Chains A and B, each alone.
Chain A
Amino acid sequence: MKILINGEVTQTHAKTLGELCTALGHGLDKIATARNGDFVPATQRGETSIAENDSIEIVAPRQGG
C-alpha cells in the first residue's frame, strides 16, 4: 500500500507502525513517531495499524536553537 513517510510517497507491506520502523532499519534507533499528526509513543507502535494514504512522521534528535 501507499503511504507518506516524512512527506515522501512510499510503498510498504507493513501492517503496523512498529513493523514499518523495523522494516526501515530503525529497530534500535532513537526515534519518535507520529501518525496523521498525532504522536504515537514507542510503546504503542506495535499495536498502531497503518492504512493506505496514512502520513507517518519519523523524527530523531537534531541541532536546534
Chain B
Amino acid sequence: MTLEFYGTEIGSRLLTGTALYPSPQILSDAVIASGSKLVTVSVRREAARERAGQGFWELIKKLDVHVLPNTAGCKTVKEAVTTAQMARELFETDWIKLEVIANDDTLQPEVFGLVEAARILNDDGFKVFPYMTEDLGVAEKLVGAGCEVLMPWGAPIGSGQGLANPMAMKTMRAYFPDIPLVVDAGIGAPSHAARAMEMGYDAVLLNTAIAKAGDPVKMGISFAKAIEAGRLAYEAGLMEPRDMASPSTPVAGTPFFKIDSAS
C-alpha cells in the first residue's frame, strides 16, 4: 500500500523539515540519505542585500522532492492565509502545511483559527495539511472544511518528547481509518517514530531530531529504518499484549512433568 496525499504518491513515509541543520550541505546529504521524498519549507522576509532565500531555493530544487511550505509563526487567520498565498506563488504548489499558533511557549495549534483558515484555503484551491492537536472534534471540523490529510502533533514542536498522548493517537487512527494521518512534531528518537508507525499512522514528519543530531546524515538513515520497521510491523499485525505469562515452548511432553496435586 503506497502513501498518497491528495492523489499524489509519496515514495517515503519519512517527511523531513529543512531547518536547523549545521550547513546547507549537511541538510542536502541528510535528506538524500534518509530517502525522504517530501520536505517542508517556509517563507521569510528577504533583505535585498542578503538574498538568503535565493540560494536556499536552488538547493531545494536540486533535491528533486515534493515541497510542502508551512505557515509557521502565524498567529491569526489573516496572517496564515496571506502567508499561504505567498508560499503558493513562491514554491509553485497548492500544498500548504497550515499552522496557526496559539502560544509562543507551547507552539500549540490555535484550533479555532486553524479550522477557519483551512476552510478559506480549501475554498481557494489549496490542498491543506493542518498541523493540529489530536482532538477528534477539531479533526472532524477540518475534514468538513475539506482537509484530506490530518497532521496531529506527537508533542510540542522541538520538544523531542515522542507521543505524549498515545491513547488519543490510537483513537484517532481508529476514528479516521481512511484519511492519511501524519504525526507532525515532537518526535525525538527513531523509536518514537516506529511507535507511531506501529499504530498505523501513515507517515511521520520531523525536523529537529535529525537536524540537531550529532550526525544528521546517520540519524536520517536511522529514522528511515525505524519508520520502515514500524510500518512493516503494522502491516504484519502486532500481537495483543497480555497481563500474564504464556509459555512459548510446548508444555506437552515436558520432561519430569507431574500434575501439581495442589491445582
A contact residues vs B (CB 8 Å cutoff): 6-7, 24-26, 29-34, 37-39, 41-42, 57-65
Contact = CB atoms under 8 A, between A and B. Distances in A.
A59 B48 contact: no
Contacts of A65: 17-20, 40, 42, 70, 72, 157-158, 185, 207-208
Interface string B50-76: 011110110010000000011010000
Contacts of A39: 82, 85-86, 89
B91 interface: yes
A61 B45 contact: no
Contacts, number: 110
A22 to B, nearest CB: 10
Given A6-B47, A60-B54, A62-B41, 5 more contacts: A6-B46, A29-B48, A32-B85, A60-B90, A64-B19
A17 B141 CA distance: 38
A59 B41 CA distance: 13
The 9 closest A-B pairs by CB, nearest first: A60-B53, A64-B42, A65-B17, A60-B46, A32-B86, A65-B207, A39-B85, A62-B44, A63-B19
B78 interface: yes
